[in-house]
Amino acid sequence: MSFQSLGLSTELLRAVSAQNYDTPTPIQRQTIPVILAGRDVLAVAQTGTGKTAGFALPLIQRLTANVRGPGPRIIRALILTPTRELAAQVDQSVIDCARYLPIKTAAIYGGVSIRPQIADLRKGVDIVIATPGRLLDHASQRTIDLSHVEVLVLDEADRMLDMGFIRDIKKIIAMLPKARQNLLFSATFNKETTELAGRLLQAPAKIEVAGTHKTADTIAQTIYPVDRARKRELLSWLIGSENWRQVLVFTRTKHAANRLATQLVKDGLNASAIHGNKSQGARSRALREFKNGQIRVLVATDIAARGLDIDQLPHVVNFDMPHVAEDYVHRVGRTGRAGNEGEAVSLVSAEENPLLAAVERLLKRTLPRKAVTGFGAGAPTASRDDSRRDRNGRADDGHAKDRANRMKYATVPTVATPASQKKTNQPNRRKRRKRSNATSGAEFTTVNDNSPRRGAPSRETPSKRQRYRQGQAAAGRPPRPAGTRG
Ligand code: AMP
């Protein structure tokens, strides 16, 4: 199917080809005709599917087909997004789609001065892309008139509700004319989103692109079992030894994002954090520098990273496993976009095993594990089918690349098979050292002082903490909650 067959105008087709879009994505194939027909839409779609152009193209076409008489521009379409970054990104997509048409947009979000936004709104715009809070600021200052809105788009509705915007959304909806087209896009559906959809939409076309709970096949996903306290060292080592140039790292909290970025900088990596407590200037700068390669590691919380479209991002790391399994799909979906290859790595401590299990249930598959010797205390248990199989049915332990790396980085920690796959007749440490020398470090390696193993408890002599944990486990007590100290 081509864009031509979807009924788009010549100007929009030119804009599509100027962006090098050859064929419509599945969501675009479904949304464009129904939006053009004026229907409400309920779409289950996440970022990375091309959903923005999926609503922007037909929305623009409807506005331009229905030209208003002379007079100042009025706001005819309102797009609400949960985050400032997404608002800026959607604004850019709309501008790109409308480049050959006389359409004006304004991006309205907080964290920046309200004055230029007021000036833009005064000059007149056709489409406003806004976050709810700043939009209400404008409404209370009477610097925006929403009484002529013909189309309302709620983008990432689930995230807006997660962020507590429901009351703001209701207030905004109350300012709009009753007769309008409503388009609701959400990556997930729960009670709240379904309720909102029920209240907002009239006989909507329901659109779901197959595999919303799937990660792209082009993304290689790996689980690294690791002691919680050693995640940062493992991350630094992976970035350095694998020579990752652009890595988006997810943490669960803003505080953790800040701390990790600071530690990575101390490790000599160019890193920055992006989250809701940073000023908009700092957020925009970090994102810009990450996109243009000045920053190598961007540490982000889910909300800040939601919807970020970073062209050809090669690596995503879950430093913490997400509490909500669907967030894993969103995080990992930052890489492997538009058919590109990507790599997603999750550093999973023993405490996070239940979160990993939830992700695997959602994906309906077991993700391959790699254990790096010296980091793997409390490794997650390998579930059902831990090994991949090659074409001949032989088990592929997923370590071929690691073996090659061990040859390359003969003085870094060895990558070991998970405990479940490990042979019991391991030579003792002294023998391994000897063998290492005999084999030029190809199979068993010693560890130099710069490696992250420095100061690590040896596997043969468990640390005080490990002994405590083992004692707890033996006594059948649950592990101590994360973050507490004895
Ligand atoms: P979105 O899901 O809207 O955030 O879009 C994800 C990425 O896909 C953006 O970089 C878009 O520019 C790109 N994109 C959207 N539609 C197409 C298409 N038909 N062909 C190729 N890339 C597209």
Which atom, in ligand 1's list, is nearest to the CA of 45?
Answer: 2
Kindly report, residue by residue over 2-29, the tens digit of the pLDDT.
999 999 999 999 999 999 998 999 899 9
pLDDT-derived band at 216, boundaries 50, 70, 90: low
Residue 24 Cα to ligand 1 midpoint, Å, equals 9
pLDDT for 223 beyond 90? yes
CA distance 151 to 170: 16
Query: For position 383, what pLDDT does the model report?
Result: 38
Among 1, 30, 309, which residue has the most ligand 1 atoms within 8 Å of its CB, making it the best to mutate? 309
Lowest-pLDDT range of 207-216, 292-301, 465-474: 465-474
Residue 43 Cα to ligand 1 midpoint, Å, equals 16
The total number of residues shown for the chain amounts to 486
Lowest-pLDDT range of 71-85, 88-102, 471-485: 471-485
pLDDT-derived band at 423, boundaries 50, 70, 90: very low
Which atom, in ligand 1's list, is nearest to the CA of 22?
Answer: 20
pLDDT-derived band at 41, boundaries 50, 70, 90: very high
Residue with the bigger pLDDT between 357 and 211: it is: 357
Mean pLDDT on 432-455 = 32
Which atom, in ligand 1's list, is nearest to the CA of 49?
Answer: 2
Which atom, in ligand 1's list, is nearest to the CA of 48?
Answer: 2
Query: For position 187, what pLDDT does the model report?
Result: 83
Query: For position 440, what pLDDT does the model report?
Result: 31
pLDDT-derived band at 281, boundaries 50, 70, 90: confident
Half-sphere exposure of 239 (CA within 13 A, CB side): 26
pLDDT for 141 beyond 90? yes
Among 8, 21, 334, which residue has the most ligand 1 atoms within 8 Å of its CB, making it the best to mutate? 21
pLDDT-derived band at 360, boundaries 50, 70, 90: very high
Residue 221 Cα to ligand 1 midpoint, Å, equals 22
Indicate which residue's Cα is closest to atom 21 of ligand 1: 21
CB count in 10 Å sphere of residue 23: 10
pLDDT-derived band at 457, boundaries 50, 70, 90: very low
Which atom, in ligand 1's list, is nearest to the CA of 25?
Answer: 19
Indicate which residue's Cα is closest to atom 12 of ligand 1: 50
Indicate which residue's Cα is closest to atom 9 of ligand 1: 50
| Plot region of 249 (φ>0 → left; ψ -120 to 50 → alpha; else → beta) | beta
Mean pLDDT on 444-471 = 39
Residue with the bigger pLDDT between 479 and 470: it is: 470
Query: For position 484, what pLDDT does the model report?
Result: 32
Residue 235 Cα to ligand 1 midpoint, Å, equals 30
Identical topology for domains 3-208 and 219-390? yes
pLDDT for 238 beyond 60? yes
pLDDT-derived band at 342, boundaries 50, 70, 90: confident
Residue 29 Cα to ligand 1 midpoint, Å, equals 13
Indicate which residue's Cα is closest to atom 1 of ligand 1: 50
Question: Cα separations (Å) of 458 from 244, 349, 409, 424, 473?
Answer: 28, 18, 20, 17, 20
Nearest to 132 by CA among 93, 59, 83: 83
Query: For position 436, what pLDDT does the model report?
Result: 36
> In the chain, pLDDT over 70 holds for what percent of residues?
73
Residue 54 Cα to ligand 1 midpoint, Å, equals 9
Residue 48 Cα to ligand 1 midpoint, Å, equals 6
CA distance 238 to 347: 11
Residue 50 Cα to ligand 1 midpoint, Å, equals 4
> 219-390 — its CATH code?
3.40.50.300
pLDDT-derived band at 321, boundaries 50, 70, 90: very high
Asked whether 406 and 445 are in contact (CB, 8 A), the reply is yes
Indicate which residue's Cα is closest to atom 13 of ligand 1: 50
pLDDT for 463 beyond 90? no
Query: For position 307, what pLDDT does the model report?
Result: 63
pLDDT for 40 beyond 90? yes
Q: Can you tell me whether residue 333 is helix, strand or coil?
A: coil
Residue 319 Cα to ligand 1 midpoint, Å, equals 27
> In the chain, pLDDT over 90 holds for what percent of residues?
51
Q: Which of the given ranges, 211-220, 231-240, 469-478, has the highest pLDDT on average?
A: 231-240
Mean pLDDT on 130-139 = 97
Residue 53 Cα to ligand 1 midpoint, Å, equals 7
Q: Is the dihedral of CA 474, 476, 479, 485 positive or negative?
A: negative
Kindly report, residue by residue over 42-78, the tens digit of the pLDDT.
998 877 788 999 999 999 999 998 777 677 899 999 9
Q: Which of the given ranges, 166-170, 186-190, 280-284, has the highest pLDDT on average?
A: 166-170
3-208 belongs to which CATH class?
A: alpha beta
Mean pLDDT, the chain, rounded, equals 78
Query: For position 458, what pLDDT does the model report?
Result: 36
What is the domain partition of the chain in residue ranges?
3-208, 219-390
Which atom, in ligand 1's list, is nearest to the CA of 16?
Answer: 19
- List ligand 1's pocket residues with C-beta within 6 A: 21, 24-25, 28, 47-53, 309, 337-338
**DSSP bridge pairs for 223:** 346, 369
Asked whether 349 and 331 are in contact (CB, 8 A), the reply is no
Residue 77 Cα to ligand 1 midpoint, Å, equals 21
Indicate which residue's Cα is closest to atom 11 of ligand 1: 50
Indicate which residue's Cα is closest to atom 10 of ligand 1: 309
pLDDT for 433 beyond 90? no
Lowest-pLDDT range of 364-378, 389-403, 416-430: 389-403
Residue 367 Cα to ligand 1 midpoint, Å, equals 27
Q: Which of the given ranges, 187-191, 302-306, 316-320, has the highest pLDDT on average?
A: 316-320
pLDDT for 239 beyond 50? yes
pLDDT-derived band at 188, boundaries 50, 70, 90: confident
Residue with the bigger pLDDT between 411 and 270: it is: 270
